[in-house]
Each structure stands twice: as structure tokens, then as C-alpha cells.
Amino acid sequence: MWTVDIPGFKKLKIQHLVFDFNGTLAIEGKLIKGVAEKLEELSKLFTLHVITADTFGQAASELKDVAVSLTVIQDNGQAKIKQQFIENLSAENVIAFGNGRNDRLMLKSAAIGILVLQKEGCFTESIQLADVVANNIIDATELILHPKRLIATLRD
């Protein structure tokens, strides 16, 4: 279990990282350069999950060599499905990464919600419900791999 104490915020005890796929790990269905390597590094510390509607139908092939558990969800009620997924893992043990409207509730429910702002853009309410906004997924994963960056962002 990864433990980080963020003064004035909360003490984290994280076991799971949950990622959206399109707009977060991938652009137009293709994994962003460098993401597979970051996920492999993170998989040594956490259980990794990808939950996606898989808009481009390429998540399984793009992630086939990466140590993640992939869940593809249906078109209706995605935000609630993603939130329930986080809650089933024990939300206080989860850091979630996303960008879209269907990510807003999982970003809010997780112990830490990290929104990534990339080429696909992001939903404004998701920005408001996230704890942290990162320029891109590489920067977002670096917050976890170098936790003093996360502490500096969230401390009181």
C-alpha cells in the first residue's frame, strides 16, 4: 500500500489507480507515447484499472502488453458506472484519472481525482470536481511517482 500524508488535506493509503482511456491515456484510440512505460512503472506499486466506453474500439489492442485490468462499459449511464467501479474498490484507496463528462463522478469519489487536459479537452464540471488538474497524463503519473509534487500541490 502506497501511503502519503498531505498536511492539511488527508493521509492517503492507495492501492488502486483507475484510468479513463480515450482523452486520458489515449488520443483517438491510440495510446499516447510514453504512457505504456509509465503504466508499467506504476504497476509495480499499484493495481491498475482502465474503465472506458472505448469510443474507438482499440483499448484492448492498445493495452494488450500493459499490466492493467480493462473494463469496457456500455453507452448509457457511464458516469454512474465509473463512480460505482471506484466505490467497489473502496474509493478511499483509489486515485482516479480522467478528463470527460463521464469521468466527473469518479474524479469526485476517489481519494484523489486527477484531471488531465490534453488534445481532447475536458469537461468543465470535471475540472471543478477533480482535486488536481495536470497538463497531460505523463505529468499526472509523475505526481504519483514523485509524491512530493502531489504534496506540494495539495497541502494546506
Length of the chain measured in residues? 156
The verdict on residue 2 lying in a domain is no
* 30: containing domain: 8-154
Mean confidence (pLDDT) of the chain: 97
Q: Is the pTM of this model over 0.85?
A: yes
For residues 7 and 48, what is the distance between their CA atoms, to the nearest angstrom?
26
For residues 99 and 3, what is the distance between their CA atoms, to the nearest angstrom?
25
The verdict on residue 68 lying in a domain is yes
Indicate the DSSP class of residue 48: E
For residues 21 and 118, what is the distance between their CA atoms, to the nearest angstrom?
12
- Residue scoring higher pLDDT (1 or 51): 51
The verdict on residue 100 lying in a domain is yes
pLDDT digits (tens, 9 = 90+) for 76-109: 999 999 999 999 999 999 999 999 999 999 999 9
The verdict on residue 49 lying in a domain is yes
Q: What is the pLDDT of residue 75?
A: 82
The verdict on residue 1 lying in a domain is no
Residue 4 phi, psi dihedral angles, 5° rounding:
-140, 130
For residues 144 and 93, what is the distance between their CA atoms, to the nearest angstrom?
14
Arithmetic mean of pLDDT, 128-138: 98
CATH code of residue 59: 3.40.50.1000
The verdict on residue 150 lying in a domain is yes
pLDDT digits (tens, 9 = 90+) for 46-66: 999 999 999 999 999 999 999
- Give the chain's domain count: 1
The verdict on residue 3 lying in a domain is no
Arithmetic mean of pLDDT, 10-24: 97
The verdict on residue 64 lying in a domain is yes
Strands 69-72 and 47-52: parallel
For residues 55 and 75, what is the distance between their CA atoms, to the nearest angstrom?
9
